[in-house]
Amino acid sequence: MDYFNYKDGQLFAEDVPVIDLAARFGTPLYIYSRATIERHWHAFNDALSGHPHLICYAIKANSNLAFLNILARLGSGFDIVSQGELERVLVAGGDPAKIVFSGVAKSVSEIRRALEVGIRCFNVESIPELHRINQIAGEMGVKAPISLRINPDVDAKTHPYISTGLKENKFGISYQKAREVYRLANEMPNIEVRGVDCHIGSQLTELSPFLDATDRLLVLLDQLKEDGIEIHHLDLGGGLGVRYDDETPPEPKEYAAALLQKLKGREGLELCFEPGRAIAANAGIMLTTVEYLKDQDDHHFAIVDAGMNDLIRPALYEAWMKIIPVIEKPTGQHQTYDVVGPVCETSDFLGKNRELTLNQGDLLAVRSAGAYGFTMSSNYNTRCRPAEIMVDGAQAYVVREREIFEDLWRGEHLVK
Ligand code: LLP
């Protein structure tokens, strides 16, 4: 559930008419709802209440400082994949002791900085990475807390580009090798083994792949116990899907209940989740204006002012995202449109075959755009990236200004 609803035929973000935001701030425009962000975070946190746990929001989904700060104030942890993300969390007031660091290519300086600020755990993805962390921690005279990201080889049944838990994917350490690598880690002088981690993919709409992965990890946990290796936490990554159309992904509480069932007898084992999309996607919309309506024989195009540089998911994954009018109209004269952007690429579309009643100048909202929307945006075609607005009740805050042309060539120089 989110707080983007129609009242008397017009779309509101919480208590603010979306049309007013378009008038004040222009389009394309990202709009987020604080109440929705908080609601989604609490859904995860409450689902695990009574069991030791930490929700580490995956900031790649939406890393706006205001977004992170709202979660930091709730006591959230964070899952990061770069030093840039680390610095963002710190600037936003996040607690370094609640940061987990994922990613296959952690550089020397990233590891050093993470140790310096005292993150909670490195989710280690390879043996060479383990050696590198051990060496840097030794140089710094500290012990590095780690978990190994295990690739459990389960099919997440999601789009191949966002599936990460199969053995042909680049992520993690193979399940078959896991025990051996834990033994190696345990013998390293500057490594402190803390957890077991996995992340099998994104936009999962069924529980079974999560549960299969958990079963495999619990077998590993028992083997590690036999080896005298104590595991403090189990991090199951992110991946819980959301409703873009008519999907019926499990609720966090169903997911948690099924897991807690499996964790009977392991009450001390802390559980971590790294949700990104499930917190952010439906906490945001992207607003766009119809520039032109164009007919090409019997094909109808709504050409809008937002393109694949602003929101790349449809172009990159053929992702279906719901497109709705900001002002509802009688459906009488609807037409089937391809909603396309200004970028010079055939893949520049926000949606195809959409039944809409449109006039030039109308405002459209792309729903579920709070995750992997702005964070994946670019300046392709030398386009300024949109502003971002955070709505909180009847208040609207500019949480990122619209880029201006000078921003686009900042740092560029002419040759002599
Ligand atoms: N943890 C790790 C280690 C991850 O790699 C990811 C996402 C997450 C957590 C958060 O997963 P989520 O809860 O959001 O599913 N750009 C794609 C999604 C890529 C996800 C990458 N990893 C999209 O727009 O669909």
**Which residues have C-beta atoms less than 6 Å from ligand 1?**
58, 61, 79, 102, 162, 199, 202-203, 237-240, 274-278, 313, 317, 372
> Are 265 and 336 members of one domain?
no
The boundaries of the domain holding residue 156 are: 103-273
Q: Is 276 annotated as a binding residue?
A: yes
> What local confidence, expressed as pLDDT, does residue 166 receive?
67
Q: Residues 87-93: contacts with CB within 8 Å, 24+ apart?
A: 88/59, 88/63, 89/59, 90/117, 91/65, 92/65, 92/66, 92/68, 93/68, 93/69
Q: Is 39 annotated as a binding residue?
A: no
Return the best residue to mutate from 277, 308, 376 for the ligand 1 pocket (most ligand atoms within 8 A of CB): 277
Each of the 416 residues of the chain gets a pLDDT tens digit; together they read 899 999 999 999 999 999 999 999 999 999 999 999 999 999 999 999 999 999 999 999 999 999 999 999 999 999 999 999 999 999 999 999 999 999 999 999 999 999 999 999 999 999 999 999 999 999 999 999 999 999 988 877 766 666 666 666 778 899 999 999 999 999 999 999 999 999 999 999 999 999 999 999 999 999 999 999 999 999 999 999 999 999 999 999 999 999 999 999 999 999 999 999 999 999 999 999 999 999 998 899 999 999 999 999 999 999 999 999 999 988 777 899 999 999 999 999 999 999 999 999 999 999 999 999 999 999 999 999 999 999 999 999 999 999 999 999 999 999 99
Report the atom number in ligand 1 closest to the C-alpha of 239: 15
End-to-end CA distance of the chain: 57
Partnered with residue 124 across adjacent β-strands are 148
> What local confidence, expressed as pLDDT, does residue 163 receive?
65
Residue 73, domain member (yes or no): no
Residue 247, domain member (yes or no): yes
Q: For residue 391, which of 365, 361, 359 has the smallest C-alpha distance?
A: 365
CA dist 310 and 28 (Å) reads 8
> Are 245 and 346 members of one domain?
no
Q: What's the CATH code of the domain at 366?
A: 2.40.37.10
Return the best residue to mutate from 54, 60, 161, 374 for the ligand 1 pocket (most ligand atoms within 8 A of CB): 60
**Catalytic one of 121, 272, 344, 384:** 344
**CA–centroid distance, residue 188 to ligand 1 (Å):** 30
> Are 289 and 250 members of one domain?
no
**CA–centroid distance, residue 1 to ligand 1 (Å):** 21
Residue 95, domain member (yes or no): no
> Are 261 and 401 members of one domain?
no
pTM for this predicted structure: 0.97
Q: Is 317 annotated as a binding residue?
A: yes
Q: What is the DSSP letter of 332?
A: G
> Are 385 and 327 members of one domain?
yes
Q: Is 292 annotated as a binding residue?
A: no
> What local confidence, expressed as pLDDT, does residue 153 receive?
85
Q: What's the CATH code of the domain at 115?
A: 3.20.20.10
> Are 294 and 328 members of one domain?
yes
Residue 261, domain member (yes or no): yes
Cα angle 52, 99, 44 (rounded to 5 degrees) comes to 45
Asked if 344 is an active-site residue, the reply is yes
**CA–centroid distance, residue 212 to ligand 1 (Å):** 19
Considering 240, 273, 306, which residue would you say is the last residue of a domain?
Answer: 273
Considering 223, 250, 273, which residue would you say is the last residue of a domain?
Answer: 273
For residue 21, give the amino acid letter: L
Please name the residue that has the structure tokens 């004269």. 333
Number of compact structural domains in the chain? 2
Tokens read off for 371: 């995750």
**CA–centroid distance, residue 59 to ligand 1 (Å):** 9
> Are 259 and 298 members of one domain?
no
> Are 257 and 119 members of one domain?
yes
Residue 64, domain member (yes or no): no
